[in-house]
């Protein structure tokens, strides 16, 4: 938290997640949104995030990609991927 003022952590030590204080969003969520928008300006314009919050999430991701990128990848899995991983769960469309 000293290295990235404005980043907090949720969860216990084994499953802690970095989040951007004041946004309600985890860093990985902002990172994914940044990937999907054309620019920081578009992301700020179309969400309630500030440019500082986006910059903070991007800087944290750049420093800890091994923490953030797998979470983004998991969220991008298709329903078919999840069904393959967890065949005992019923997915409805």
Per-residue pLDDT band for 79 (boundaries 50, 70, 90) equals confident
Fold of 7-85: Arc Repressor Mutant, subunit A (1.10.10)
How confident is the model at residue 60, as a pLDDT? 97
How confident is the model at residue 90, as a pLDDT? 79
Q: Where are the chain's structural domains?
A: 7-85
pTM: 0.85
The per-residue DSSP string of 10-77 comes to ES-GGG-EEEETTTTEEHHHHHHHHHHSS-HHHHHHHSS--HHHHHHHHHHHHH-HHHHHHHHHHHT-
| pLDDT 10s digits, 2-50 | 899 999 999 888 889 999 999 999 999 999 999 999 899 999 999 999 9
């Amino acid at each position: 938290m000293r290295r990235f003022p404005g980043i907090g952590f949720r969860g216990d030590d084994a499953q802690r997640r970095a989040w951007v204080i004041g946004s309600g969003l985890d860093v990985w969520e902002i990172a994914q949104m940044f990937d999907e928008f054309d620019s920081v300006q578009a992301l700020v314009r179309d969400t309630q995030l500030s440019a500082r919050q986006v910059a903070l999430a991007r800087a944290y991701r750049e420093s800890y990609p091994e923490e953030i990128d797998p979470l983004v990848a998991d969220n991008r899995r298709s329903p078919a991927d999840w069904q393959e991983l967890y065949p005992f769960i019923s997915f409805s469309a």
